[in-house]
Amino acid sequence: MIESTSKNIGIVLRYLNTKNWGTWVLPKMSIGYIAIQYQISGNHTATTMTHDKTINYDGKKLSKFVVGAPVNYLTGYEHIR
């Protein structure tokens, strides 16, 4: 089981973003979550992760994260680089 820390969430999201969602086997994390992958404008792949509880991320309590999306997309999520 992977601890749901800001660092680990970024690692898992970046990994999932490199894979086609149909091949995913989601790793277990200490806080339950769902992950979804999007194709944006045909040339960006973005992956989101929504946790069942908030975590402390850079001093903020957050539960929604995204990687791979342009900053003006999926604005309700914390963009991880």
Q: Give the whole-angstrom CA distance, residue 50 versus residue 36.
A: 9
Instruction: Read off the tokens for 14.
Output: 């970046």
Q: Is the dihedral of CA 56, 9, 50, 67 positive or negative?
A: positive
- Report the candidate in 2, 33, 16, 3 with the shortest Cα–Cα distance to residue 80: 16
Neighbours of 27 (CB within 10 A): 14
Q: What is the pTM of this model?
A: 0.91
- Write down the pLDDT at residue 62: 97
Amino acid occupying residue 26: L
pLDDT tens digit sequence for 10-34: 999 999 999 999 999 999 999 999 9
